[in-house]
Each structure stands twice: as C-alpha cells, then as structure tokens.
A and B are shown apart, each in its own frame.
Chain A
Amino acid sequence: MSDDIAPIITTRKDEATGFLQNMISKGLGWARKYSLFTYPYATACCGMEYMSVAAGRYDISRFGAEFPRFSPRQADLLLVVGTINLKQAPILKRVFEQMAEPKWVIAFGVCASSGGFYDNYAVLQGIDRIIPVDVYIPGCPPRPEQVLDGLMLLQDKIQNQRHYLGNKQPIPERPGYRDLAAK
C-alpha cells in the first residue's frame, strides 16, 4: 500500500467524532462569545470612555460583554484601558496570568496598543510586549462605536477558534514575565 492513501482513510468513528467535536466547538464558541466577563484594567483617560461604553447609552451588555468582574479570576476578557507604564508592566502581566483559560485581551486605545504619543522614558510601548493581544482598538480615546466594533471582531475570532469540552483545551505557551524582563 502506498503511503499517500493511508492517511486519507478515516473510519466511520473518526468521522463521527470529528463531526461531533466540530459541533461542540461551534456551540462552545457561540456560548463563549456572548458571555464574555470583562476585567477592565483602567489606568488612564480611556477609562472614561470605557464607562461610557459600559453605561446606558452605548451599553456593551447588548453585545454579551455584560459583567465587569473586578477579579481576574472570574474574567475571561482583559480590557487594557489606558496607558501602561514600565512600573505597571509586571502588575499587568500578573493580572493576565491570574485569569483562567480560555482568555482574551483587547488593547483599548492607542496607549495600550502602541504607547501612543507617550513615546517617552516611562511608558511601555504597547502591551503586546508583555501579553498577547487579540484585538487592538485605535483612537485616543476610541469612540464607543469603535469599541463595540472591536468587541464584535473579537467575537468573530472566538467563534472561529477551536473550543474543547472539559479541561482538554491546550494551554498556549507564553513566556513568563521574568524571561521577558531578562531579555
């Protein structure tokens, strides 16, 4: 038997479980994208805009990111809202590490995304230097509509990710803060 045929053959069982897993992944993705618990890590003026997004007029809860949880243990979406300076970086990293998998990060505003106009001695030039970011929302501060758009982008991303039942979700490899700081 030649090699190129062998992998193509799938048993009926494989097919059936693959189909089931796909359905489960889609279902979990749908459930997760509409039940994001956010942890607003608000450090600066963007926090005002976050309040406006969360309050009645724009109402982020219409999009399923209802609850701001003020403990990272209960949150699965980290909203980094505002300027992160170098003194704050280890704290942000620790908060991120404290969140349970699966977790996502939104960089809210240009300060969090790239340092913004604080191109100076004190400010971390983008939080992606220490934690992985899923969606960047530009603007100083971003309009609430922009934030909602970013949230919907994240929801698309979550829907298309692979989700697993139970604790089978593989935990992504992420460098520890110490390794980053040592570089």
Chain B
Amino acid sequence: MSTFALDQIQAQLPQALVERYKDRAGEAWGVIAREHIVEVAKLLKEKLGFRLFISMDAVDRLHLPPEEQDPRFEVVYFLKNIERNEHARLKVRVNEDQDIPTIAKVFQGADWAERFVWDFYGVVFAGGQKRRILMYEEFIGHPLRKDYPLRGRQNLIPERPIQDIFRGPGTNGVQD
C-alpha cells in the first residue's frame, strides 16, 4: 500500500511524525505529535491534495495491556486524496487532561466529528466547540469510554421549550 502521505510528512515535517507502522491489512499509519496536527492537516490538504476529510473517531485504550494504556486515547483521522485515490491514516495520542488543537479551521467538516469525539469520549479540542452532538446537554459522562458503567442509567431530561411553534398568547414554551 502506498505510503505517499507519510513519506511526504516525514520529509517535510519530520518533527511531527512520532511513529509509523503498518497494520495487519498492510495499511500505513502515522502517529502525529498532538501540537503538530494542524500543520500536518494543512500540509496534507494544501500541498499534497488530501482534500477530503472522511471521518474521525477515537479509541479508549483503558483495558489494553498496561504498556499501551498511556496515553489513554487515540484519536484517529482519515483523509483522502481523490486524484491519487489514496487514504492518509493519522493518529494522535492524548491523555485525559490534554487537548488537541482543532483542525476544523482546515477541514470544516471536522467540526462535527470533533464534537462527536468530545461527546462520546471526552477528548477536548482546543479552539473547537465543546458541545455535544448526539447526546443531550444533561447527559452525565461520556458513553463510549470504557469506564462508563455498562448499565449506567441517566435521568429523564427536562422538556425543551419549543420556540418555533406559536402556542397562543401568554405561552412561550412548555407548560404542564
């Protein structure tokens, strides 16, 4: 499989690339230092033509063997170069108390993905929006963390006022 993206990163931003390896399917992965992720995203998008942001996710490594537990989270980025028909697979490793610079300025579509990662894993993106995207505001905790209780129950949420429906004079929201 092609290692074009990683070779270019290694050549142009050698300080950003912490580690590179191939997974079982033979795909190339690069681990990026978290301070450099914005530069790497810019390089990939503007110079190397990886213009399509595909998706982003995270991995909670809490129950892996101890040597793989630190740092706890791996945030995974997938980019694609349409002309070359190639993917770039990047990882950033962070601990709970660290944050990652947001790449939403480079790829606008990453905004929702970052909100998703924050919502479900609690990884903070510096400069990004810290708003839940799928769960509701009152939700306590981050459900896809490995230490989220399996049978953890949340309370019923309060009803939201409905702003865009006119309910007659004197009512501007929820009434029982």
Seen from chain A, the residues whose Cβ lies within 8 Å of a Cβ on chain B are 86-87, 89-90, 93-94, 119-122, 125, 129-130, 176-178, 180-181, 183
Contacts and interface: CB of A to CB of B under 8 A. Distances in A.
18 contacts: A86-B156, A86-B157, A89-B156, A90-B157, A90-B160, A94-B159, A120-B143, A121-B152, A121-B153, A176-B176, A177-B176, A178-B158, A178-B159, A180-B156, A181-B156, A181-B157, A181-B158, A183-B156
Contacts, number: 43
Contacts of A178: 158-159, 176
Interface string B141-162: 0010000101111111111100
B153 A125 contact: yes
B136 interface: yes
Nearest to B136: A87
Contact of A119 (B135, B136, B151, B160): B151
A86 B158 contact: no
Interface residues of B, number: 16
Contacts of B158: 90, 178, 181
Most-contacted residue by chain A among B148, B152, B158 (CB, 10 A): B158
Contacts of A177: 156, 159, 176
A125 B176 CA distance: 23
Contacts of B148: 121
